[in-house]
Amino acid sequence: MFRSLPQYDVIKTEEIADVKSTGTLLRHRKSGARILLLENNDENKVFGIGFRTPPSDSTGVAHILEHSVLCGSEKFPSKDPFVELAKGSLNTFLNAMTYPDKTVYPIASCNFQDFCNLMEVYMDAVFFPNIYHKEEIFRQEGWSYILENPEDELTCNGVVYNEMKGAFSSPDDMLDREIMNSLFPDTPYGVESGGDPKVIPELKYSDFLSFHSRYYHPSNCYIYLYGDMDMEERLAWLDREYLCRYDAMEIDSAIPLQKPFDKPAELTIAYPVSEAEEEKDNTYLAWNVVVGEASDVNLSFAMAVLEYVLLSAPGAPLKQALLDAGIGKDIEGGYDGGILQPVFSVVAKFANAEDKDKFVSVIRETLQKLADAGLEKKALLAAINNLEFKFREADYGNFPRGLMYGIDTFDSWLYDDNAPFDYLKQLEVCQFLKEQTKGRYFEELIKSFLIENTHASVIVMEPECNLTAKEDERVRGKLAQYKASLSAEQIAELVENTKRLRAFQETPSTQEELEKIPLLRLSDIGKEAAPLYNKEENVDGTTLVSHEIDTNGIAYIDLLFDAAAVPGDKVEYLGVLKGILGMVDTEHYSYRELSNEIDIHSGGIYPAVDVFADTAHPGNYCAKFEMKAKVLYAELDFAFDMMEEILLTSKLTDEKRLYEIIARMKSRMQMRLNSAGHQAAANRAMSYFSGTAAFGDRTTGISFYKTTELLEEQFDDKKEELTGILKELMAVLFRKENLLVSVTAEPEALDKIKERIRLLQKKLDAACAEAAGEETADAAAGAENAGAAACADRADKVSALHGLAAPLGKKNEGFATSSQVQYVATAGNFCRAGCTYTGALRILKTIMAYEYLWTNIRVQGGAYGCMSGYGRTGDTYFVSYRDPNLGRTLQVYEGITEYLKSFSVSDRDMTKYIIGTMSEVDTPQNPQAKGARSLAAYLCHITQEDLQRERDEILSATPGNIRALAPLVEAVLKEHCICVIGNGEKIKEEKELFCEVKPLIGSGSDGSQPG
């Protein structure tokens, strides 16, 4: 444990039991830097340095600076140390984030030397960046005029500029921004810290440098160290190498409080929609209030509970009141507690502007009724337990828990130097809130903060067709006007500046510069592949695959039902069924009661649909409808009771409820397509030739969205058909012979689980017999035998499910949206050309992400991101993210083959690529993730030997192995399967690239669905 160092004052030390850590708050005496230590036995060490960076305008200076400081520094002068680290580090997290009031630079690694290397590069980057010596960094990452030749059209480009064009194309992102701006007009929250594309070009290089010199000083910094390490050694290093160079100074970066409003503010704004989208029933309404201050932790969590109870839980009363009043088709709640003055919002999507007054009236009347009559205690307890379970489990996916704890500390530390631990003590807050359910605590919060609060705003965000085209034309005209105002000498200067920027971007860092980036050795990496945890047993005819892992008393249960018998023209409805089960009444519970019971007694019970490619027989796959649960061992009976209740007794007769679910499903899918278009485009391109991808597209992608769109628009005509199809699917799916059970838990839980599997088998048999109208046990046995024979027949065919979701055929589609940017994908399959999978493809992914695609698509092209993926069955894609280009990006993809043919790097660089690849391969996993990985390997027929072979191929790879991938990539690119989601005008300009151009949103079916 840290004791003391003379360079630091210890402000306080506490045992933070909730996160199993000893917390120490310090201040560096000479520089004034704030430091927080969380010491524990977590090998996944985290470092972060943050700065309070309140913006004064919407030029995005804080965001551009976040990008730019990582483009070279005093000790590490190469053009992109961040990328060089990503290529050759074992990091478990490496990124930077801009918030409305702070900028944070976190890293994480399980390898101590790697951790030290990352710390040094990041510390040097933030305090001694090359931005003062190379204006081109600002021009590349922020914005720049682009003029290749005097006669060309003047344009504007930049990574942040294009990133924010994408962000400003999403209605949900736009609304979040307007909510913040409307409530805090006199504070930094009243402007856009990420940058408004309309305003970004107003940022001057001198102001950019001034912002850094003003705020990037130790006296304004927050340093965070988490995990199992020698804290004294790290603190001594920080002092010796960086902090001792500075003297403490007063920096005015405090976030001021917004003066409360006398009455709610109201504003009406427009957002862009495409020509295919209706303007009717497409308005967003938002009612928003400011709720106290971040320093009141109990209040903050209480409001999160209220948000869940009032708006997020199935059947939540405020949400239901708005839906019943016919206001909008999807109601969302939001509680944003990551700022000085948190905000509570109610949003109605797909509403109309004339509903505004009724919207506000229903909210206020419903809140008043709830405050007077009292909230349902069970709903409050369910919400609190939901928060508590998630905090105890600490499952943050691929994000290290230490990273998330560090972000939590800022919710109080940024506004109070002496209060970094407040948001880490969540269990005592949960206990406090449970006690408050006995009185009127929550009802009084509704009265004081939601009903009587005048610090509020009401926003009407209306759709406007061709708004994006108008904005593009405005920008084009403004640039043309600006160019026309310039002299010949000034135009020549723009051309020269463009050439200088291009030269900067195209000139690689010297080998000497690159070798200053610290690099691990291959000997630092273990030789053994991570183990699979699969133990297969037969439980009276049902396969149980158990993954025996220490789960700290939590069982992760997955009931998987084979979907092979689902009719091919009903595949989309698997996605619909997933969205409905657990959200409708059952035999013993209303859907509201069901939700409360699940939240009180578990960490979640929910359906899923997944597909697993058969690596032993490329082209084949198995599709599963799943019911998942995570519970403490003491609640195993409850988990099976609830899963059986949902699977076997769900009622599909409530038409009103079905419509609400379908409308919400469509809304959430539309939001996802807007924000993650790269995923949809890549999967769609692969669906042209891949049954696996086609299944994904039809259950979670564009085809599925089109199904929800059609069902929502024509619900009255299709509701009986919908109910019939869902009942048919349930009868086909939920049969004993279709069942496989996966459990991640310790051995002590397995006996109870086997007992419940046997009981579930009987219930499935009984439900099957009842559905078939059978009255005798003999008849039921006959049905079982027939079902088993059918199952065996499917097994004999190696689960060849080509008919379930056949490839769509090459369509090469351009999906037009109102976005200002594109998501550009190309795809193909290398196995069909006789090539085979190799671990070297994992290295190619690293090379593409941080070398070839990065340089050509992000650095030179201005796109925000670029990715690629290579499946064991050959399915491959290349895709860009928030990309200003289209045809140019496809040309970049076409150049990959030649790049690979001449690929040649030094031993050091090859080692770097291998290590960077292993950081992804060896990402630490929590128990649930280990179980899921093992199950996927089992279903995909991936063995431990396969994983070891892949690892060996990665660790022993040479440049020759990368060159050998050229024919593989050439085979992929020759298939020329492309899909683009993006700006409608841009797609029309390059329509010759496509077989079909169509709107993504609106205009019904995309024509690719069967039936």
User: In this predicted model, what pLDDT tens digit does every residue of 57-109 receive, in sequence order?
Assistant: 999 999 999 999 999 999 999 999 988 988 889 999 999 999 999 999 999 99
Find all residues with CB under 8 Å of 586, minimum gap 6, and list them.
594, 645, 646, 649, 650, 651
Tell me how far CA of residue 410 lies from CA of 33, 51, 294, 404, in angstroms: 15, 10, 10, 10
972: Cα within 13 Å, side-chain hemisphere: 32
pLDDT at 915 over 50: yes
Sequence-ordered alpha helix ranges (H) in 602-714 = 636-649, 655-675, 677-687, 691-700, 702-713
Residue with tokens 């004999």: 796
294 in Cβ contact with 322 (< 8 Å): no
Report which DSSP code applies to 935.
Answer: H
Residue from 761, 773, 772, 697 nearest 732 by CA: 772
Q: What is the pLDDT of residue 970?
A: 98
Separation of alpha carbons 112 and 211, rounded Å: 33
Q: Mind listing the pLDDT tens digit for each residue in 768-790?
A: 888 776 444 444 444 344 343 33
At position 593, the amino acid (one-letter code) is: E
Tell me how far CA of residue 284 lies from CA of 197, 269, 462, 634, in angstroms: 22, 10, 7, 44
Residue with tokens 């299709």: 718
**737: three-class secondary structure by DSSP:** helix
Q: What is the pLDDT of residue 772?
A: 73
* Residues 856-881, mean pLDDT to the nearest whole number: 96
Find all residues with CB under 8 Å of 512, minimum gap 6, and list them.
none
At position 439, the amino acid (one-letter code) is: G
Q: What is the pLDDT of residue 4?
A: 81
User: Please, what sign has the CA dihedral across residues 950, 952, 954, 960?
Assistant: negative
Q: Mind listing the pLDDT tens digit for each residue in 100-151?
A: 999 999 999 999 999 999 999 999 999 999 999 999 999 999 999 999 999 9
* Residues 32-55, mean pLDDT to the nearest whole number: 98
∠ CA 334-343-259, nearest 5°, is 165
Separation of alpha carbons 885 and 880, rounded Å: 9
47 forms bridges with which residues in the sheet?
Answer: 107, 225
Q: What is the pLDDT of residue 783?
A: 39
Percent of the chain with pLDDT over 70: 96
Q: Residue 411 is encoded by which pair of tokens? A: 């919710």
Element (H, E) at 827: strand 822-829
817 forms bridges with which residues in the sheet?
Answer: 983
pLDDT at 976 over 50: yes
Strands (E), 833-926: 865-870, 875-881
Report which DSSP code applies to 85.
Answer: H
588 in Cβ contact with 645 (< 8 Å): yes
Q: What is the pLDDT of residue 788?
A: 38
Q: How many other β-carbons are positioned within 10 Å of the β-carbon of residue 848? A: 23
Chain length of the chain: 1011
Find all residues with CB under 8 Å of 603, minimum gap 6, and list them.
389, 390, 393, 554, 630, 631
* DSSP output for 422-474: GGG-HHHHHHHHHHHTTTTHHHHHIIIIIIS--SEEEEEEEEEETHHHHHHHH
Percent of the chain with pLDDT over 90: 90
Angle subtended by helix axes 715-733 and 655-675, to nearest 10: 90
Q: What is the pLDDT of residue 782?
A: 41
* Residues 505-519, mean pLDDT to the nearest whole number: 92
Q: What is the pLDDT of residue 791?
A: 36
Q: What is the pLDDT of residue 921?
A: 95
Separation of alpha carbons 516 and 85, rounded Å: 11
Q: Mind listing the pLDDT tens digit for each residue in 697-730?
A: 999 999 999 999 999 999 999 999 999 999 999 9
Q: What is the pLDDT of residue 618?
A: 83
Residue with tokens 């900067």: 504
Find all residues with CB under 8 Å of 259, minimum gap 6, and list them.
186
Q: Residue 839 is encoded by which pair of tokens? A: 């671990």
Residue from 221, 193, 210, 180 nearest 52 by CA: 221
162 in Cβ contact with 22 (< 8 Å): no
Q: Mind listing the pLDDT tens digit for each residue in 204-261?
A: 999 999 999 999 999 999 999 999 999 999 999 999 999 999 999 999 999 999 999 9
Separation of alpha carbons 584 and 653, rounded Å: 9
Question: At 2, is the pLDDT very low, low, confident or very high (cuts 50, 70, 90)?
Answer: confident
Q: What is the pLDDT of residue 161?
A: 95
Query: What is the pTM assigned to this prediction?
Result: 0.93
pLDDT at 801 over 60: no
Q: What is the pLDDT of residue 398?
A: 86
Question: At 435, is the pLDDT very low, low, confident or very high (cuts 50, 70, 90)?
Answer: very high
Exposed e or buried b for every residue in 8-17, given b needs 16+ CB within 10 A? beeeeeeebe
Separation of alpha carbons 898 and 896, rounded Å: 6
* Residues 341-363, mean pLDDT to the nearest whole number: 97
Separation of alpha carbons 161 and 53, rounded Å: 19
Residue with tokens 């409001």: 303
Angle subtended by helix axes 750-771 and 636-649, to nearest 10: 20
pLDDT at 338 over 70: yes
* Residues 275-281, mean pLDDT to the nearest whole number: 89
Separation of alpha carbons 907 and 736, rounded Å: 56
Whole-angstrom Cα Rg for the chain: 29
Q: Mind listing the pLDDT tens digit for each residue in 924-950?
A: 999 999 999 999 999 999 999 999 999
Find all residues with CB under 8 Å of 894, minimum gap 6, and list them.
973
Q: What is the pLDDT of residue 803?
A: 52
* Residues 187-191, mean pLDDT to the nearest whole number: 97
Question: At 900, is the pLDDT very low, low, confident or very high (cuts 50, 70, 90)?
Answer: very high
Mean pLDDT across the chain: 93
Residue with tokens 């790269």: 678
* Residues 788-803, mean pLDDT to the nearest whole number: 38
Written in H, E and C, the secondary structure of 759-801 is: HHHHHHHHHHHHHCCCCCHHHHHHHHHHHHHHHHHHHHCCCCC
* Residues 693-698, mean pLDDT to the nearest whole number: 96
456: Cα within 13 Å, side-chain hemisphere: 19
359 in Cβ contact with 351 (< 8 Å): yes
Separation of alpha carbons 1002 and 1008, rounded Å: 15
